[in-house]
Amino acid sequence: MKKRVIGLLMAACLVVGATTGCGGGSTATDTSASSAATDEADTEKAEVVEGDFDTVSLRLSCNGTDQANDTKAANLFAKLVNEKSGGKVTVTVFPNDQLAGGNMSKGLEMLCDGTVDLDVHSTSIISNLDNTLMVSTLPWIFSDYQAAEDAFYGAGGEYIDSVLQTKGLYYLGAVHNGFKAMTNSKHPIEKPEDLKGLKMRIPGGDFFSAFYTAFGASPQAMSWSEVFTALQQGTIDGHDNSLSTINSANVQEVQKYISISKHAYEAFTFMANAKKFDTLTPDTQQLIRDCVEEATKTMNQEIIANEETLVDKFTNENGCEIYTFTEDDMAAFKEVVQPLIDEYKGIYGAEACAAFGVE
Cβ within 8 Å of residue 101, ≥6 positions away: none
Please count the structural domains in the chain.
2
Do 118 and 90 form a contact (C-beta atoms < 8 A)? no
Terminal-to-terminal C-alpha distance of the chain: 37
User: In sequence order, what are the beta bridge partners of 73?
Assistant: none
CATH number for the domain spanning 199: value is 3.40.190.170
User: In sequence order, what are the beta bridge partners of 259?
Assistant: 182, 323
Do 90 and 82 form a contact (C-beta atoms < 8 A)? yes
Is residue 316 exposed (0-12), middle (13-18) or buried (19+ Cβ within 10 Å)? exposed
Domain-located, residue 17: no
Domain-located, residue 144: yes
Helix (H/G/I), strand (E/B), else coil: 18 = coil
139 lies in the same domain as 279: yes
Computed from CA positions of residues 132, 137, 141, 142, in that sequence, does the dihedral angle turn out positive or negative? Answer: positive
73 lies in the same domain as 196: no
- At 225 the pLDDT is 85
64 lies in the same domain as 149: yes
DSSP assignment string, 109-125: HHHHTTSSSEEEEEHHH
Backbone angles phi and psi of 266, in degrees to 5: -130, 150
For residues 194 and 269, give the distance between their C-alpha atoms in angstroms, rounded to a whole number: 32
150 lies in the same domain as 126: yes
79 lies in the same domain as 145: yes
- At 131 the pLDDT is 93
280 lies in the same domain as 299: yes
Residues in the chain, total: 359
In order along its 359 residues, the chain shows pLDDT tens digits of 433 333 333 333 333 333 333 333 334 333 332 333 344 444 468 889 999 999 999 999 999 888 889 999 999 999 999 999 999 999 999 999 999 998 888 999 999 999 999 999 999 899 999 999 999 999 999 999 999 999 999 999 999 999 999 999 999 999 999 999 999 999 999 999 999 999 999 987 788 899 999 999 999 999 888 999 999 999 999 999 999 889 989 999 999 999 999 999 999 999 999 999 999 999 999 999 999 999 999 999 999 999 989 999 999 999 999 999 999 999 999 999 999 999 999 999 999 999 999 98
- At 87 the pLDDT is 97
156 lies in the same domain as 247: no
Rg, the chain, Cα only: 20
227 lies in the same domain as 293: no
Q: At what angle do helices 155-165 and 145-152 cross, to 10 degrees?
A: 40
Residue 110 CB-half CA count within 13 A: 24
For residues 327 and 330, give the distance between their C-alpha atoms in angstroms, rounded to a whole number: 5
111 lies in the same domain as 124: yes
156 lies in the same domain as 273: yes
Do 224 and 268 form a contact (C-beta atoms < 8 A)? no
Domain-located, residue 157: yes
203 lies in the same domain as 325: yes
For residues 38 and 41, give the distance between their C-alpha atoms in angstroms, rounded to a whole number: 5
Domain-located, residue 154: yes
Domain-located, residue 274: yes
For residues 62 and 67, give the distance between their C-alpha atoms in angstroms, rounded to a whole number: 12
Domain-located, residue 18: no
Domain-located, residue 151: yes
Q: Look up the pTM and report it.
A: 0.81
191 lies in the same domain as 233: yes
Range of the domain at 278: 36-177+266-310
Domain-located, residue 135: yes
